[in-house]
Amino acid sequence: MLDLIIKKGNCFIEDKLVQTDIGVLKGKISHIGNLDTEKSKVVIDARNLTVLPGLIDTQVHFREPGSVDAEDLNSGSKAAIVGGITAVFEMPNTNPPTTNFEEFQRKIDIGKNMYCNHAFYFGATAENFKILEKLEDLNGCCGIKLFAGSSTGNLLVDKEDDIEKVFKYASKVVAVHSEDEEILKLRKKLIEKGNVNTHPVWRNEEVAISSTRKIVKIAKRLNKRAHILHVTTKEEVDFLSQNKGNITFEITPQHLTMYAPDCYNNLGSYAQMNPPIRDKSHYDRLWYAIRNNYNDTIGSDHAPHLKANKDKLSQRFPKTQFNVKDNSLQTPVTFTAGDSLAGIAWNGWDTNNSKYVPSAQLYTKVSNSAGSVAADTVKGTLVFATNDGTASAPSLKYMEFTSDGRLSINSQTANATLDVNGNAKIGTELLLGSMTTTQRNALTAQNGMIIYNTTDNKFQGYENGAWSNLI
């Protein structure tokens, strides 16, 4: 008898997604394949779900000790488990920082209440480098964290001589926040107060690649292991992919899912991080690295901040000329985006957070270069965009009226007289929604639904609680 059977889950096997059963015995996967005849203490129905092994997040910043109002080790590990992360490597920039054996033991003790497997980084400073050689057999220590660029507390190690001392005495891998502090100081004057778009201008590509070249040079000369965290530039990707061996590097999901200036225009200071989100050329190169297995890990760099603290980082919206005192309405402000579009934006009052948030926009496309708000259509398109108030992106829901008489609802391009969600279309012909079997099964189906199944190439309808072929 097996301890656990996971039935009919979608599993990646030999680079293919296949539906199969998984059997577990004594904590290990013992069977993969049809287990209809097998018995088990526990059976989980995983139909329409993807089954993955437990993942390891190699870079998280939980906030204990010091900022438990944002997160603690217990709550952070619980969130990790919910997200499919079964082990985390936690960083030392807490308050106080994890830079001595007493604070490290404190984390070990607190960590007894964590939900997932875990290990902690030991923080390097310009003063504690000699004790780093004593970490080799320290239980619960996954490595040494080095901040070569601006950080908090006493964790900044920016002088090359001090960086070299850290590597000289390091008995474990050194994970590096790689930014050149000297260049950061010189470029700080480029920050424009209230303009979050200048954040990546200040912390530009030179800041990153200069530091990374320095770290690799030192690590190779001393024959020590270095792991470059949250790589963000195409220059670093190209350089590090040619300097492997004892050098490894990480890419983060946020740099794979956002790029500038869109992220700053839509999210304001919520998109601000170090190293920063950069333009699409860097985004594309990071994806190139992923597809070609250049990087060694993907770590989240999870680092929670209170919403109020993020709001203080920059003024995310332009000031209005007028204000209605009853908090029910803020007078619209006119906005422009070069030659591509112009229009009016409304801010609505968020009673839960006592602030105005972007609610709706009305604008006209005047060229075929409409930017990132919505996809290009014909000149003269009138767009009405609304927001539910929980995010700053203006185009969550929108309608477009084209100058040639087409209406688009929640579709970036009106390809018919009426286009809904880019799927169901009415013109000279009727096009029903098309989807795969997997997409169909993910629907909240109701009796009377009709779709075209591209997997089976069949018209299908939902009746009496089940899908059936119509022809």
Are 29 and 110 found together in one domain? no
Same domain, 436 and 400: no
In a domain, 239, yes or no: yes
CATH number for the domain that contains residue 80: 3.20.20.140
| Residue 188 and residue 151 in contact, taking contact as beta carbons nearer than 8 Å | no
Reduced to 3 states (helix: H, G, I; strand: E, B; else coil), residue 131 is helix
Q: Are residues 178 and 46 in the same domain?
A: no
Hey, what are 176's tokens?
């590096």
What is the distance between the alpha carbons of residues 394 and 312, in angstroms, rounded to a whole number?
21
DSSP 237-298: HHHHHTS-SSEEEEE-THHHH--BTHHHHHHGGGG--SSPP-BHHHHHHHHHHHHTT--SEE
Based on the structure, what is the number of domains in the chain?
Answer: 4
Q: How far apart are CA 450 and CA 460, in angstroms?
A: 6
Contacts of 249 (CB under 8 A, 6+ apart): 227, 228, 229, 231, 236, 240, 295, 296, 297
Structure confidence at residue 396 (pLDDT)? 46
pLDDT for res 391? 44
Q: Which one-letter amino acid corresponds to residue 359?
A: S
Residue 320 domain flag: no
pLDDT at 337: 36
Task: Verify that 20 and 64 share a domain, yes or no.
Answer: no
Which of 259, 280, 311 is the C-terminal boundary of a domain? 311
Q: Calculate Rg over the CA atoms of the chain.
A: 27
Whether residue 378 lies inside any domain: the answer is yes
Rounded CA-CA distance 321/330 in Å is 10
Residue spans of the chain under pLDDT 50: 314-342, 349, 355-356, 366-379, 389-396
The pLDDT value recorded for residue 369 is 40
pLDDT at position 335 is: 37
Same domain, 389 and 450: no
Pairwise CA distance, residues 54 & 67, whole Å? 28
Reported as a single tens digit per residue, the pLDDT across 333-351 is 333 333 334 455 555 545 5
Find out whether 318 and 308 touch, Cβ atoms under 8 Å. no
Q: At what angle do helices 205-222 and 160-169 cross, to 10 degrees?
A: 40
Looking from the CA of 266 toward its CB, the CA atoms found within 13 Å total: 18
Domain that holds residue 369: 330-426
- Residue 152 shares a structural domain with residue 191: yes
Strand order in the sheet with 226-228: 55-60, 85-90, 117-123, 141-147, 174-177, 226-228, 247-251, 297-298
Domain-located, residue 284: yes
Same domain, 192 and 306: yes
Residue in this structure with the two tokens 């990132």, named with its chain if needed: 372
At 408 the pLDDT is 73
Q: What is the pTM of this model?
A: 0.65
| Tens-digit pLDDT profile for residues 163-174 | 999 999 999 999
Q: What is the dihedral of CA 28, 30, 31, 36, to 10 degrees?
A: -90
